[in-house]
Chains A and B, each alone.
Chain A
Amino acid sequence: MSAGGASLLKYMGKRAVDRAAVIISSLTLQFLLLRVLPYYVLGIDPSFFFLNPNLTEVQRELIRKQFGLDESLLSQFIKYVLSLFAGNMGFSFYTRRPVFTELMERLPNTVLLFGTSTVLTIILGLIIGIIVVSKRGTRFDASVIGTSIFISAFPLFYVGLLMLLVFGFHLRWFPIAGTISRPPPRDPVKYVADLLWHMALPLTTLLITSVGGFALFIRNLFLTQLGEDYVLTARAKGLTEREVMIKHVLKNVLAPVINVLALEFPGIISGAVIAETVFSWYGVGRWLFSAATQFDYPVVQAVLFIQVILTVIALYLADLVIALLDPRVRLR
């Protein structure tokens, strides 16, 4: 057992180095695309976009110096990465406020919306997927597959627009924009109710677009497992279908599920950009969108950095789960 623990530690240490390296390379890539590319392709740096053209040369230089834009790109990059890891994300070019402060205003909203939708997607997807796989080959199975494929062809923003059109503009059941009523209710219970009321449409939209695909993925994952010997053994022992599914198969599909969910993080950020723009949700995605269209690079880079960190942590957890469940991978 101690040998197994040592090999696990060694394996996880090696993975940690690999994953950390990806963070650095991702930061480098972002810097190359967002700062070096405009500088060498168009010969401009970000100050071009936010400096008032009426300023004098001295004033310009002072502002550029204030943001550290007068230094060479390489030293900017090194300083930027070092300060990122120290928790300093710099200042927005536009609001001149610390990126961290602005992020903290919006992050709870995004985590609330997308956390809820992700958790609900996993739960609903697992339930639907397992129900479907236990009824595989029936008409029910086929209709669920068909519906899932059909719904997954809808663009996220279009589902959002239809929701807005029907339930927001036509029936007027739900608000058409915003995160909370203005002014926000003082009573905490009413506050939560108001927040949920605003969240209903975006949340439904996200669920509609994601549950079907995830359920389909679960179904196919289970299908590949059902042909395995251990399932036959479990059935031979006389376990019911439900016991086979939950006690044996679920444990084996956990690793790929976690892996896929970890790789969903970049998709969640892209989804946040769309959904929060459609529903005017006061969150990180809409902020990222407006920052990207305004060349507010400190904001863009900070959000992408956080997203990469989260993805890597999630993948690392997936590594850990896989290594715990399957000792063979540690020896690779």
Chain B
Amino acid sequence: MGQFQESKVKALKSFLTELKLHKTGLIGFGILLLYVFIAVLAPIIAPVDPNETGLADSYAYPEWFSTFSEYSNFPRNIYLKINFDDWNVKHLSEGLTLRNDGELIEITAHSTNSPSVKDAIFEYSFDYTYDPPKRFSGRIPYKIAIYNSIGSYVRIKCYIIHPSGREYEVYDSMSIAVNLTRLDTPETYDARDISLKLKLGFSPHDDLGEKIFDTQGTYTLRLVASIFIAKGNGRVEVTFGTKEFRIYGKLYGILGTDNLGSDIFSNLVYGTRVSLLVGVLASVISVSIGLVVGIIAGYKGGVVDQILMYFTDTLLFTPILPLIIAISVFIGKSLYLEIALIALFSWMGFARNTRAYVMSIRDSMYVESARAIGAPDMYIIFRHIMPQLTPIVYINLVMRVPGAILLEATLSFLNLGDPSVPSWGRMLYSARYAGAFFRFMWWWIIPPGLAITFLALAFVLLGHALDEILNPRLRVRR
């Protein structure tokens, strides 16, 4: 009687364990669905293209840091597009004509009897209310056309004027005496340019942004076109496009920016795709290879079996990571090569399992009787053996994914991944080698690893649940 009750308790307990395991399976499935959702909708979820650089200053903090008083006044991205209507014409020498041609400003000077210098000065003022930024940059598209006037030249300069009145000459085209168009590929100036720092009298180690935008107040951008026009019957035209001026913020996006100024959050979102693709594809390929090898070895037996198992063992004894590293170094870093390599070096365990399983089926009565009535090998394999293998194929398809995901992440972390594809491993690689650790940028380091972990975990949980449901032998045991 007592024994009966004990077995009842046992059955109840095992039932509860199973239920719990299935619940974890459900959780795994839920996590997986979330990842698939993110992967499919990545272009919608990610605010910007993950490969785009220079979105804000390098190593920018997440935007929500501004809620902490320490960071509240950190510089934000400022992006000014200044066209004709925005410019304030400060000075226009006599004889210059100004024409607003859509987005372009056209300044025309005509020759007179004596050579003269004519200036056009434009100004634009804006309020800067944040802490000093590290970096700014500007783009000035212009076109110079000199008609029939040898000896004329044009010189274009840009200044930034401090609220105190100090002037910084950030761009100087020097004298241009030829026709040229820089409308499509504008001239630029950048606060990181060392020659610019030296020209303005700063040390190469200074950040120009911090030096120039050191107080809050009204700053003025000045654009000067000096036209020297020789005497005669010529004409000089200077055309300006929309001037762009940027101050690179130290606060950006949900997770800030990396060393190149790329959006970390977008990289995180797009990384889902690579991990899922590599995990699933590598698992499918490796299970297929393992299935074929296992069935042939297990069914044929004898010499074929020995040769195949010998080969399997050889691969099993070889550390795959160094081999994959060596091979991908000389063949090249490509995503599909990586998947193929991962799959080619990870089918061995499954082949061995399948072989053992097939052997036990092969020796069973019904297979023997099928053979006795003259069924061909292919018929037996597809009719009697394959259906029995379905559960372990499903389980292995799921269970092999985490290994492939972790291996892909590891390879990317060792900088052997495809450099054109955003991946979590590569994010961690750049975090490690671009100084995220020294800066304690935990928002850059922690999310990619957690993303890898939870994706792997989802497959593990799902696999365990499948194992419970599909594997009758396990069910008896627990």
In the bound complex, CA of A307 to CA of B316 (Å) = 12
Q: Which residues of B contact A153 (CB under 8 A)?
A: 402, 453-454, 456-457, 460
Whether B326 pairs with A33 at a CB distance below 8 angstroms is: yes
Shortest distance in angstroms between B402's beta carbon and chain A's nearest beta carbon? 6
Q: Which residues of A contact B319 (CB under 8 A)?
A: 265-267, 269-270, 304, 307
Shortest distance in angstroms between A263's beta carbon and chain B's nearest beta carbon? 7
Q: Does B4 have its Cβ within 8 Å of any Cβ on chain A?
A: no
In the bound complex, CA of A162 to CA of B442 (Å) = 9
Whether A155 pairs with B452 at a CB distance below 8 angstroms is: yes
Q: Does B461 have its Cβ within 8 Å of any Cβ on chain A?
A: yes
A-B contact count (CB 8 A): 141
Query: Please, what's the 1-or-0 string for B109-130, where 1 marks a CB less than 8 Å from any CB in chain A?
Result: 0000000000000000000000
Q: Does A195 have its Cβ within 8 Å of any Cβ on chain B?
A: no
Q: Does A193 have its Cβ within 8 Å of any Cβ on chain B?
A: no
Query: Please, what's the 1-or-0 string for A16-46, where 1 marks a CB less than 8 Å from any CB in chain B?
Result: 0000011001100110011001100110100
Query: Please, what's the 1-or-0 string for A199-233, where 1 marks a CB less than 8 Å from any CB in chain B?
Result: 00000000000000000000000011001000000
Given A29-B314, A33-B323: A227 touches B477 (CB 8 Å cut-off) = yes
Q: Which residues of A contact B317 (CB under 8 A)?
A: 22, 26, 265-266, 308, 311-312
Return the chain B residue nearest A274 by Cβ: B410
Q: Which residues of B contact A308 (CB under 8 A)?
A: 317-318
Q: Does B375 have its Cβ within 8 Å of any Cβ on chain A?
A: no
Of the four ranges (under 10, 10 to 19, 20 to 34, 35 or more), the interface on chain A belongs to 35 or more
B31-71 CB contacts (< 8 Å) to partner A: none
Whether A289 pairs with B325 at a CB distance below 8 angstroms is: yes
Whether B17 pairs with A137 at a CB distance below 8 angstroms is: yes
Query: Please, what's the 1-or-0 string for A148-175, where 1 marks a CB less than 8 Å from any CB in chain B?
Result: 0110111111100110110011100000
Query: Please, what's the 1-or-0 string for B304-321, where 1 marks a CB less than 8 Å from any CB in chain A?
Result: 000000110111111111
Whether A150 pairs with B457 at a CB distance below 8 angstroms is: yes
Q: Does B331 have its Cβ within 8 Å of any Cβ on chain A?
A: yes
Q: Does B329 have its Cβ within 8 Å of any Cβ on chain A?
A: yes
Whether A137 pairs with B13 at a CB distance below 8 angstroms is: yes
B1-26 CB contacts (< 8 Å) to partner A: 13, 17, 20, 24
Given A149-B464, A153-B456: A304 touches B322 (CB 8 Å cut-off) = yes
Q: Which residues of A contact B178 (CB under 8 A)?
A: none
Among B92-100, B180-188, B246-254, B432-440, which stretch is in contact with chain A?
B432-440
Q: Does B413 have its Cβ within 8 Å of any Cβ on chain A?
A: yes
Whether B461 pairs with A142 at a CB distance below 8 angstroms is: no
Q: Which of B17, B310, B327 contacts A21 (CB 8 A)?
A: B310
In the bound complex, CA of A43 to CA of B445 (Å) = 41
Whether B318 pairs with A304 at a CB distance below 8 angstroms is: yes
Whether B330 pairs with A38 at a CB distance below 8 angstroms is: yes
Whether A161 pairs with B477 at a CB distance below 8 angstroms is: no
In the bound complex, CA of A157 to CA of B460 (Å) = 19
Given A26-B314, A149-B460, A263-B316: A157 touches B428 (CB 8 Å cut-off) = yes
Residues of chain A at the chain B interface (Cβ within 8 Å): 21-22, 25-26, 29-30, 33-34, 37-38, 41-42, 44, 137, 142, 146, 149-150, 152-158, 161-162, 164-165, 168-170, 176, 223-224, 227, 263, 265-267, 269-270, 273-274, 277-278, 288-289, 292-293, 295, 297, 300, 303-304, 307-308, 311-312
Residues of chain B at the chain A interface (Cβ within 8 Å): 13, 17, 20, 24, 310-311, 313-323, 325-327, 329-331, 402, 406, 409-410, 413-414, 416, 428, 431-432, 437-438, 440, 442, 445-446, 449, 452-454, 456-457, 460-461, 464, 477
